[in-house]
């Protein structure tokens, strides 16, 4: 097997060689075994929504089957599949949010979960018109949480947070009838409408996809972020390190992988427990080394500076180092292959969520009632496993980079305040950001998000696009595995400003920020929506007027499709570095990459070559500037 | 027009004017005619500091036009826009150079003093380093209200700042009965916008003299002026393209520009402050100039006005 595809990441080659020696199977082996992927699936023209099928439509127009047995055309099948993908993505994010809201609902003065950010809670209570008069903070917390929980299944009305969008945007949603109603309802409606013999009208399926996705961006994800900040604190700027080199030779290494901060935050607490720290020492280790991966890694690094072991594609490699005492997972983006892989080493693979029980894993159910006790028990297991490490099988790549992160909207605004002249302007706004964009000092902004995907060279698209954009004075904000790629590449440092163009460099120096701002996990893309909308409102414009884009260079998950769709529906052009499975319908492709612009003022761009993609992004940004006359 | 387009328009206009001026002068005096500013060892200081080249004749000045041209690259890019601003500065120096080449004292009929000789700059060195001169205000244009302009200049004066005047503000300040002259730290330069180069020339020679900067080290020069020369610009009245492009040159040197009209604001660099009562405070804050209150023989009211001035948060 050739590892050429990994040439970009110096840690990968050696570890994959090692995996081979250790008899461990990785995604590259499985990718090779997969051979060429199925052309019908690739194009989205395979349907198995009923047992008359599976049906597949000939990719050649006018030749072979042009319709499914029920008569569904390629257009309908592609649009239905797309809608279901959106629904799945939306459910993942929203279910994640539901859990954290439950956590706030059970928070108490002396419980495991507290209200760490009462100001943010009070602000939200005010925004949602929850009466706070004479109530103590936990009562308010419970009431706000209850209101939030209703957002998932309320019988009437639309998502509360859509009011945060600029007014012209709200109007577009209203006119198109895509204002998101209850989250679960939108998901269920898609599943209903994509059932055999229901919706076949392609535009309607697209509208439903947009409405459902909006229930995530302006519903589930936004609540997820908001409530996580309330319970665990709003992230502030801090430094950390990233890449597999953060795994320590002489410590108990614990990998946190998944998404749910209510679990990972407790693990952070448990790992700081003096008794457990002592236990680690008694077992011959120098201490406990907690490292993160994927979005749960982002959550704990944003709030505690927990080191980042890596992003999505490195999840197997972290185990192949042979130095991982335990892998603790909750939900989402966790390879089912991991438990088996862990068996090649001493690594304990522990699944904790009833929503993601995994074949071959040790299952220790996490429940919020006994959060700290359970996580302590789990950490103890990891510590006791230290002695089982086979030192002959350990190989930790020595690569790691420093990174600055923690840039929540609040923290960004705090930094912007540094350049506010107290005589001419007010503090605590995004005006400085909007000013430098309008003056042309920076050309625009790009949110670079998403996963890794073995279809492209890992991290290469993320990094290529980021470097190209900052060089051309486009400020980048990032989340998810894209952010972790940036961290590993050293782009989240103050020094990285040297890679930026003159204008952006100047901004970085004056504001005291790196040219690329890590804004958190995938649900935290809601922070980006918030930031963009604030700039729109500052200028009395709509999001679609701004020279701002979203980019998912190496996306892979259904969540990413859900995200891309709500970003476009929010008026922000979105560039996809992996072509989605829709090319079997020229009409649907035209909707995504063309017609949507007439409807929502933004559209998708598909471009797999990262250099060309960066070029197209810059052209689009200049086009938007020209339209604004700036 | 985008801000950068305005800058390029101004830079090109200044270049055109410089080309014309040099061509006319050569026609009249020939290429070998001598060019020099009085009382300086630094030739044409801006060109010398930026390129390391000393200009001695009109012919060589013609060559310097090439430098200007090369600095104007019309792309929507901040670095290039700042370079175009520097180009305007060089054009201005070329035009002023020609004025001195054609006349013994081109400023003899003006209130402005024109070129500032080395000796004055040397005398300013110590008070600048000690903070006795806490800042340099450059006032350009024509104010809608000469009284508030006078108050502003007096305010700078009382705080020990050195103020340079360019344009009709000179006459306005005189009418407002502000005492001008080096001893009062208020120096009228000239009525035309190109005279602004004589204060740029002061900053540039400060870098050469006190910063021991090597001529030709442009980035070192810009760094020095940004870090060490506490200057800022106040513009009054409507701005034309050339003034905006001059402003870009100031920003390239690290000097913030505070206009009293609407401008596309750039935090910390290009601000709009329409309230003349706030011009001073806005400017000092923009250049991060703190006044050493005790050392100045000024009324207490000034000192108290500055208490609690730093209200920004530290993040
Ligand atoms: S829903 Fe229609 S296209 Fe899909 S499998 Fe059934 S018959 Fe075939
Ligand atoms: S960016 Fe993609 S791979 Fe990474 S955690 Fe988010 S959804 Fe999963």
Ligand 2 pocket check for A93: Cβ under 6 Å: no
Residues 6+ apart with CB under 8 A from A482: A448, A449, A450, A451, A462, A552, A553, A554
Ligand 1 pocket check for A52: Cβ under 6 Å: yes
**If you take atom 5 of ligand 1, which residue's CA is the nearest one?**
A53
The predicted structure's pLDDT at residue B175 = 96
Domain A244-393 falls in which CATH fold?
A: Rossmann fold (3.40.50)
**Does B271 contact chain A (CB < 8 Å)?**
yes
Phi, psi of B155 (to 5 degrees): -60, -45
Strands B136-141 and A604-606: unpaired
pLDDT at A623 over 50: yes
What is the Cα–Cα distance from A218 to A180, expressed in whole angstroms? 8
Strands B270-272 and B257-259: parallel
Q: Which of A423, A436, A502 is opposite residue B79, by nearest beta carbon?
A: A502
Q: How far is B172 from chain A (nearest CA, A)?
A: 25
User: Among A547, A548, A411, A555, which residue's Cα sits nearest to residue A482?
Assistant: A555
pLDDT at B167 over 80: yes
Distances (CA, A) of A256 to A130, A253, A297, A622, B222: 36, 10, 6, 41, 48
Ligand 1 pocket check for A65: Cβ under 6 Å: no
User: Among A396, A393, A418, A415, which residue's Cα sits nearest to residue A404?
Assistant: A415
Please classify residue A144 by burial: count the beta carbons closer than 10 Å to its beta carbon, then call 0-12 exposed, 13-18 middle and 19+ buried.
buried
CATH class of A402-628: alpha beta
Phi, psi of B293 (to 5 degrees): -65, -45
Question: Using one digit for the tens of pLDDT, what is the confidence trace for B31-55?
Answer: 999 999 999 999 999 999 999 999 9
- Mutation to test the A interface, candidates B257, B258, B271, B315, most A Cβ within 10 Å: B315
Question: Using one digit for the tens of pLDDT, what is the confidence trace for A259-302?
Answer: 999 999 999 999 999 999 999 999 999 999 999 999 999 999 99
CB-based contact A75:A587 (threshold 8 Å): yes
Taking the CA atoms of residue A248, residue A252, residue A257 and residue A263 in that order, the dihedral angle to the nearest 10 degrees is: -140
DSSP character string of A85-147: HHHHHHHHHHHHHHHHHHHHHH--TTSS---S-HHHHHHHHHHTT---TT--HHHHHHHHHHH
A320 C-alpha vs ligand 2 centroid, how far in Å?
Answer: 21
DSSP state of B276: G
Which position has the higher pLDDT, B259 or B297? B259
pLDDT at A381 over 90: yes
Question: Using one digit for the tens of pLDDT, what is the confidence trace for A48-61?
Answer: 999 999 999 998 88
The predicted structure's pLDDT at residue A3 = 42
pLDDT band at A62 (very low <50, low <70, confident <90, very high): confident
What is the Cα–Cα distance from A546 to A534, expressed in whole angstroms? 11
Q: Calculate the CA B37 to chain-centre distance.
A: 17
- Mutation to test the A interface, candidates B6, B266, B279, B281, most A Cβ within 10 Å: B266
CB-based contact A146:A131 (threshold 8 Å): no
Which atom number of ligand 1 is nearest to the Cα of residue A54?
Answer: 5
Q: Calculate the CA A420 to chain-centre distance.
A: 31
* Mean per-residue pLDDT, A433-460: 96
The predicted structure's pLDDT at residue A8 = 55
End-to-end C-alpha distance for chain A, whole angstroms: 51
CB-based contact B83:B71 (threshold 8 Å): yes
What is the Cα–Cα distance from A137 to A123, expressed in whole angstroms? 12
User: CB A424 to CB B278 under 8 A?
Assistant: yes
**Does B5 contact chain A (CB < 8 Å)?**
no
**If you take atom 2 of ligand 2, which residue's CA is the nearest one?**
A451
Ligand 2 pocket check for A520: Cβ under 6 Å: no
- Indicate the angle between helix axes B3-29 and B241-252, nearest 10 degrees: 100
* Mean per-residue pLDDT, B88-99: 97
Phi, psi of A7 (to 5 degrees): -45, -30
- Mutation to test the A interface, candidates B82, B247, B261, B267, most A Cβ within 10 Å: B267
- Residue written as tokens 């150079």? B97
A47 C-alpha vs ligand 1 centroid, how far in Å?
Answer: 6
* Mean per-residue pLDDT, B270-274: 96
User: CB B78 to CB A625 under 8 A?
Assistant: no
The predicted structure's pLDDT at residue A226 = 98
The predicted structure's pLDDT at residue B297 = 52
Taking the CA atoms of residue A446, residue A314, residue A96 and residue A490 in that order, the dihedral angle to the nearest 10 degrees is: -40
pLDDT at B308 over 70: no
pLDDT band at B125 (very low <50, low <70, confident <90, very high): confident
Chain B residues within 8 A of A439 when measuring between CB atoms:
3, 264-266, 270
Question: Using one digit for the tens of pLDDT, what is the confidence trace for A158-194?
Answer: 999 999 999 999 999 999 999 999 999 999 999 999 9
Chain A residues within 8 A of B269 when measuring between CB atoms:
441, 506
What is the Cα–Cα distance from B283 to B278, expressed in whole angstroms? 8
Looking at chain B from residue 201 to 240, which residues have their Cβ under 8 Å from any Cβ of chain A?
Answer: none
Instruction: Report chain A's mean pLDDT, rounded to a whole number.
Output: 96
pLDDT at A2 over 60: no
Ligand 2 pocket check for A258: Cβ under 6 Å: no
The least confident of A11-25, A528-542, B149-163 is A11-25
- Indicate the angle between helix axes A274-282 and A261-271, nearest 10 degrees: 60
The predicted structure's pLDDT at residue B1 = 85
Compute the radius of gyration of chain B from its Cα atoms: 19
pLDDT at B301 over 50: no
The predicted structure's pLDDT at residue B3 = 94
Domains of chain A, residue spans: 3-56, 74-232, 244-393, 402-628
The predicted structure's pLDDT at residue B293 = 59
CB-based contact A525:A217 (threshold 8 Å): yes
Question: Using one digit for the tens of pLDDT, what is the confidence trace for B2-37?
Answer: 999 999 999 999 999 999 999 999 999 999 999 999
Ligand 1 site-directed mutation target among A69, A76, A80, A193, most atoms within 8 Å of CB: A69
Q: Which of B76, B278, B312 is opposite residue A420, by nearest beta carbon?
A: B312
What are A600's two structure tokens?
């929502």
pLDDT at B176 over 80: yes
The predicted structure's pLDDT at residue B291 = 86
Longest alpha-carbon distance in chain A: 73
What are A537's two structure tokens?
């409102």
Please state the three-class secondary structure of A394-417 as a single string: CCCCCCCEEEEECCCHHHHHHHHH
CB-based contact B243:B260 (threshold 8 Å): no
Is cis: bond before A54, omega within 30 of 0?
yes
Strand order in the sheet with A516-520: A516-520, A474-479, A444-448, A548-552, A573-576, A604-606
**Beta-carbon neighbour count of residue A106 at 10 Å?**
17
Q: Calculate the CA A230 to chain-centre distance.
A: 19
What is the Cα–Cα distance from B166 to B112, expressed in whole angstroms? 8
The complex scores an ipTM of 0.85
CA angle B36, B40, B44 (to 5 degrees): 50
Distances (CA, A) of A82 to A41, A48, A212, A601, B266: 12, 14, 12, 20, 43
User: Among A296, A383, A291, which residue's Cα sits nearest to residue A346?
Assistant: A383
Q: Calculate the CA A128 to chain-centre distance.
A: 26
Taking the alpha carbons of A472, A474, A477, A479 in that order, is the dihedral positive or negative? negative
The least confident of A271-280, A430-439, B123-132 is B123-132
What is the Cα–Cα distance from A227 to A233, expressed in whole angstroms? 9
Question: Using one digit for the tens of pLDDT, what is the confidence trace for A81-92?
Answer: 999 999 999 999
What is the Cα–Cα distance from B84 to B80, expressed in whole angstroms? 6
CB-based contact A352:A373 (threshold 8 Å): no
Q: How many CA atoms lie within 13 A of B168 on its CB side?
A: 9
Strands B186-190 and B231-236: unpaired
Instruction: Report chain B's mean pLDDT, rounded to a whole number.
Output: 92
Strands A604-606 and A516-520: unpaired
A73 C-alpha vs ligand 1 centroid, how far in Å?
Answer: 10
* Mean per-residue pLDDT, A558-562: 97
Give the ligand at the shortest distance from the Cα of A198.
Answer: 1
User: CB B79 to CB A630 under 8 A?
Assistant: no
A455 C-alpha vs ligand 2 centroid, how far in Å?
Answer: 15
- What element of type H or E holds A274? helix A274-282
Q: Which of A423, A503, A512 is opposite residue B78, by nearest beta carbon?
A: A503
Ligand 1 site-directed mutation target among A41, A65, A68, most atoms within 8 Å of CB: A68
pLDDT band at B309 (very low <50, low <70, confident <90, very high): very low
A244-393 and A402-628 share one fold: yes
Compute the radius of gyration of chain A from its Cα atoms: 24
What is the Cα–Cα distance from B61 to B53, expressed in whole angstroms? 10
Give the ligand at the shortest distance from the Cα of A259.
Answer: 2
Does domain A74-232 fall under CATH 3.30.465.10? My reply is no
Q: Which of B77, B264, B315 is opposite residue A418, by nearest beta carbon?
A: B315
CA angle A229, A233, A234 (to 5 degrees): 65
For residues A115-131, one letter each, b for 16 or more C-beta atoms within 10 angstroms of the residue's C-beta and e for the rest, the string is: bbbeebbbebbeeeebe
- Residue written as tokens 């359970």? A374
The predicted structure's pLDDT at residue A301 = 97
């Amino acid at each position: 097997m050739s590892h050429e595809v990994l040439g970009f990441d110096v840690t990968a080659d050696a570890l994959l060689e090692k995996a081979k020696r250790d008899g461990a199977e990785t995604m590259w082996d499985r990718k090779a075994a997969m051979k060429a992927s199925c052309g019908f699936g690739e194009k989205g023209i395979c349907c198995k929504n009923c047992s008359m099928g599976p049906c597949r439509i000939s990719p050649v127009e006018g030749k072979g089957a042009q319709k499914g047995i029920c008569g569904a055309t390629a257009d309908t099948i592609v649009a239905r599949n797309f809608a279901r993908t959106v629904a799945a993505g939306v459910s993942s994010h929203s279910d994640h949010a539901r859990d954290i809201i439950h956590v706030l609902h059970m928070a108490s003065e002396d419980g495991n979960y507290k209200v760490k950010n009462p100001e943010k809670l009070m602000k939200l209570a005010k925004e949602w018109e929850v009466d706070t008069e004479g109530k103590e903070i936990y009562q308010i917390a419970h009431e706000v949480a209850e209101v939030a929980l209703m957002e998932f299944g309320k019988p009437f009305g639309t998502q509360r947070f859509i009011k945060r969008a600029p007014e012209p945007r709200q109007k577009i949603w209203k006119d198109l009838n895509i204002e998101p109603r209850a989250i679960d309802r939108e998901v269920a409606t898609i599943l209903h409408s994509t059932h055999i013999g229901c919706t076949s009208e392609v535009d309607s399926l697209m509208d439903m996809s947009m409405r459902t996705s909006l229930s995530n961006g302006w519903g589930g994800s936004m609540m997820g972020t908001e409530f996580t900040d309330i319970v665990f604190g709003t992230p502030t700027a801090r430094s950390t390190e990233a890449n597999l080199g953060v795994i320590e030779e002489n410590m108990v290494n614990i990998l946190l992988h998944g998404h749910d901060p209510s679990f990972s935050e407790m693990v952070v607490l448990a790992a700081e427990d003096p008794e457990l720290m002592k236990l680690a020492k008694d077992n011959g280790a120098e201490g406990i080394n907690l490292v993160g991966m994927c979005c749960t890694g982002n959550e704990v690094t944003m709030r505690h500076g927990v080191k980042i072991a890596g992003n999505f594609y490195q999840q197997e490699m972290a185990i192949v180092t042979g130095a991982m005492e335990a892998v603790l997972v909750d939900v989402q983006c966790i390879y089912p292959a991991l438990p088996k892989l862990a068996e090649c080493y001493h690594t304990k693979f522990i699944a904790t969520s009833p929503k993601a029980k995994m074949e071959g894993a040790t299952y220790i159910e996490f429940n919020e009632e006994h959060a700290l006790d359970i996580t302590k028990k789990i950490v103890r297991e990891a510590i006791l496993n230290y002695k089982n490490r086979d030192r002959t099988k350990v190989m930790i790549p020595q690569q790691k980079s420093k990174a600055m992160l923690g840039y929540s909207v609040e923290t960004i605004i705090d930094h912007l305040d540094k350049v506010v002249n107290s005589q001419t302007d007010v503090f605590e706004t995004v005006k400085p950001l909007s000013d430098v964009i309008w003056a042309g000092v920076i050309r625009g902004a790009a949110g670079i998000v998403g996963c890794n995907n073995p279809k492209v060279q890992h991290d290469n698209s993320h990094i290529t696009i980021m470097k190209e954009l900052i060089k051309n004075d486009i400020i980048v904000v990032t989340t998810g595995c894209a952010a972790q790629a940036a961290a590993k590449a050293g782009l989240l440092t103050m020094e990285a400003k040297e890679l930026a163009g003159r204008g952006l460099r100047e901004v970085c120096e004056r504001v005291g920020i790196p040219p690329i701002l890590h804004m958190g996990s995938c649900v935290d893309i809601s922070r980006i929506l918030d930031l963009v909308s604030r700039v729109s409102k500052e200028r009395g414009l709509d999001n679609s007027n701004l020279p701002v884009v979203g980019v998912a260079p190496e996306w892979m998950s259904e969540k990413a499709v859900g995200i891309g769709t709500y970003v476009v529906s929010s008026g922000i052009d979105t560039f996809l570095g992996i072509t989605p499975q829709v090319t079997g319908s020229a009409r649907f492709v035209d909707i995504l990459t063309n017609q949507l612009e007439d409807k929502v003022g933004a559209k998708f761009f598909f471009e797999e070559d990262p250099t060309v993609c960066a070029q197209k992004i810059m052209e689009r940004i200049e086009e938007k500037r020209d339209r604004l006359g700036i | 027009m985008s801000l950068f387009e305005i800058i390029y328009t101004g830079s090109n206009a200044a270049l055109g004017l410089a080309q014309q001026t040099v061509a006319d002068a050569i026609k009249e005096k020939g290429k070998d005619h001598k060019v020099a500013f009085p009382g300086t060892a630094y030739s044409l200081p801006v060109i010398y500091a930026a390129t390391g080249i000393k200009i001695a004749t009109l012919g060589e000045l013609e060559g310097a036009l090439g430098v200007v041209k090369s600095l104007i690259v019309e792309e929507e890019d901040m670095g290039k826009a700042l370079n175009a601003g520097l180009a305007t500065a060089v054009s201005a120096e070329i035009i002023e150079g020609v004025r001195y080449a054609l006349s013994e004292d081109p400023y003899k009929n003006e209130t402005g003093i024109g070129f500032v000789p080395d000796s004055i700059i040397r005398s300013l060195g110590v008070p600048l380093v000690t903070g006795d001169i806490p800042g340099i205000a450059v006032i350009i244009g024509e104010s809608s209200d000469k009284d508030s302009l006078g108050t502003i200049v007096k305010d700078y004066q009382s705080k020990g700042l050195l103020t340079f005047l360019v344009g009709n503000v000179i006459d306005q300040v005189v009418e407002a009965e502000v005492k001008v002259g080096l001893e009062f730290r208020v120096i009228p330069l000239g009525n035309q916008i190109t005279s602004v180069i004589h204060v740029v020339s002061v900053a540039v020679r400060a870098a050469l003299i006190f910063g021991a900067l090597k001529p030709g080290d442009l980035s070192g020069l810009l760094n020095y002026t940004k870090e060490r020369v506490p200057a800022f610009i106040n513009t009054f009245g409507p701005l034309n393209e050339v003034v905006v492009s001059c402003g870009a040159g100031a920003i390239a040197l690290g000097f913030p520009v505070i206009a009293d009209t609407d401008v596309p604001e750039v935090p910390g660099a290009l601000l709009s402050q329409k309230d003349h009562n706030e011009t001073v405070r806005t400017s000092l804050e923009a250049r991060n100039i703190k006044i050493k209150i005790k050392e100045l023989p000024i009324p207490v009211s000034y000192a108290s006005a500055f208490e609690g001035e730093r209200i920004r948060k530290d993040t």
